Amino acid sequence: MHLLHLPVRDLAQAERSNYRETCMPRPIVAKIDTRALAHNLAVAKRLAGHARVWAVIKANAYGHGLLRAAQAFAAADGLAMLDIEEAVQLRHAGETRPLLLLEGFFDSADLMQCAAHQLTPVIHCTEQLALLSTSTLQAPLDVYLKINTGMHRLGFSVDTVPEVWRGLCGLKQVRHITLMTHFANADGDQAPSVTAQRQQFERATQGLQTAAGQPVMRSLANSAALVHFPQTHADWVRPGILLYGCSPFAFARTDQRADVLGLRPAMTLQSTLIAVQSLAKGQSVGYGGSFTAPHAMRIGIVACGYADGYPRHAPTGTPVLVHQMRTHLVGRVSMDMLAIDLTNMPNAGVAAPVTLWGAGLSADEVASHAGTIAYEMLCALAPRVSVQVM
């Protein structure tokens, strides 16, 4: 078929494929280590003890690729995400494990898809409850009932839980109910906050039982709570960033770093030097002249910028590796390039390999310098960056 007769999405894909066949891509690549993904899941499972594990793969598996991550997380008990289209894609790919929709459904069409593909939606508001109660489904659903214990984003207030519970239990559209909440401060030094939320959760759910008189399944712990608050593990845990080899805690705490937790980076962003410049004392580099050389310097230009997903606000001093040796950014990150200090690397020239984050240089450390978190950087990886699976 002629390219112009293809749908827009297929046309764009065909154009990209044709370009790759005829031209060399820019020398920037995200290397995805699926063995590291599987290893990190094993760490999560050891931490979880007897609890079952939802592997959170929202946002295209934090930039690592939905189907790729789902396969790497073969040992997970279920997969959790936001986008119903991603859940359906997994079902079409043959995925049979439970799939949890963390924001539930948004309209009746979504709800029909949940029933058709046996997805498990989170119910967090009265509007969803009303839509569920008036729907005609081809099969009943397992659902998660979300309780707001202090995060104040999604969830029913503590005092309404008994009424909502009774309402859900009375619906023919519902098969099994699991109770859940989400911690606001499990990643900080605020154990009292976690304890307070857990107590709110226990108070809200006290006395609730299944129709058979059994205790109700519960899910509370995210990555941070999985590591530091084993009393919150309950029946299901929901690790996210931990699975991708980054710490859920601030980089400043050495005892909470990803490598100390036994995690391996699953994404390594690499590029090369594409030019070398010499600066005399007093000369500047990049837009705005934000960096001025304090002495004669040798500067390397790297094929990576904010259009590739690198944080634009990363300042001078943000670490990078050249030939696995540490140096740092100088000046402002531009759309397609950034500059680094090569003054003490006289042998580094054009085509020298550069690691922006990943193996040998934690994304958490780069994020800390840039005033952000590794979650944002991983999720921001641009489609124009080539991906290599290891």
Q: Mind telling me the catalytic residues?
A: 58, 287
Q: Which of 312, 311, 281, 278 has the alpha carbon at shortest distance from 294?
A: 281
Q: Which residues pair with 312 in a beta bridge?
A: none
As a whole number of angstroms, the distance between CA 99 and CA 119 comes to 5
DSSP class of residue 243 equals G
As a whole number of angstroms, the distance between CA 368 and CA 117 comes to 41
145's enclosing H/E stretch is strand 141-148
Contact between 311 and 370 under an 8 Å Cβ cutoff? The reply is yes
As a whole number of angstroms, the distance between CA 168 and CA 174 comes to 7
As a whole number of angstroms, the distance between CA 291 and CA 306 comes to 18
CA angle 362, 359, 270 (to 5 degrees): 100
Dihedral of CA atoms 272, 278, 280, 285 in degrees, nearest 10, equals: -40
As a whole number of angstroms, the distance between CA 174 and CA 236 comes to 19
As a whole number of angstroms, the distance between CA 44 and CA 123 comes to 26
**Residue position matching structure tokens 């990943």:** 358
- What are the C-alpha distances in Å from 303 to residues 121, 308, 329? 42, 9, 13
Residues in the chain: 390
Which sign does the torsion angle of CA 278, 280, 286, 287 carry? negative
As a whole number of angstroms, the distance between CA 29 and CA 382 comes to 11
**Residue position matching structure tokens 């599987």:** 38
Contact between 302 and 272 under an 8 Å Cβ cutoff? The reply is yes
As a whole number of angstroms, the distance between CA 313 and CA 333 comes to 7
Chain-centroid distance, C-alpha 133 = 33
